[in-house]
Amino acid sequence: MDVAEERRFREFVSARSPALIRFGFLLTGGDQHAAEDLLQTVLVKTAARWSRVDDPEPYVRRAMYRQQVSWWRLASHRRETTVADAPEAPGPSARDHADAAEVKLVLRHALARLTPRQRAALVLRYFEDLPEAQVAQIMGCSVGTVRSTVHRSLARLRVAAPELADLRAPRDSFEEVPR
């Protein structure tokens, strides 16, 4: 990699790392360290091919998705997630935080029950707010497959965590907004 290519790569990494870490966080099921490892692994591979990459953002996202799918298939990457001990006695103002944490835990466990492909489709479509065509490109499938995967994923989420239905706001739901 020449000096100009290296500068371009460094600029891309510094500008897009926060968004790519968030994407990795969701792909890894909420494991910050795994997300950082995922991004670092993909960036190392991308650096070797940087001169041939025309549009780096979709390239890196697709590589992250594919790398994560590869890791899901390996038994050695299936590990438990540790959490800190619960606080002794929450104060009265901590109730809102406890409710938010409870919702996050319920959602995290519900997402963990989805297949990797289903989780990735939901993350790309709703968290990253990507259009179906771009999700299809990243996942290497057709737009129709993205639609059906998202539909099945939402149905499975509704069964896995029916308590989330009571918490959603009209515009904050996982359901698509009519166009």
Q: Would you say the CATH fold of 95-166 matches that of 3-77?
A: no
CA distance 28 to 88: 29
Angle at 52 between CA 123 and CA 129, to 5 degrees: 15
> For the whole model, what pTM was predicted?
0.52
Q: How many CA atoms lie within 13 A of 18 on its CB side?
A: 1
Per-residue pLDDT of the chain (179 residues; tens, 9 = 90+): 788 889 999 999 999 999 999 999 888 888 889 899 999 999 999 999 998 888 999 999 999 999 988 877 775 555 555 566 665 555 545 556 667 777 778 878 888 888 889 988 998 998 888 999 999 998 999 999 999 999 999 999 888 888 877 665 444 444 444 44
Least Cα distance to 117 among 138, 96, 100 occurs for 138
Please state whether 72 falls in left (phi above 0), alpha (psi between -120 and 50) or beta. alpha
The fold adopted by the segment(s) 3-77 is Rna Polymerase Sigma Factor; Chain: A (1.10.1740)
Query: For the domain 95-166, what is the CATH code?
Result: 1.10.10.10
8 Å CB contact between 118 and 153: yes
Look-up of token digits 């990507």: 130
CA distance 87 to 37: 29
Domain limits of the chain? 3-77, 95-166
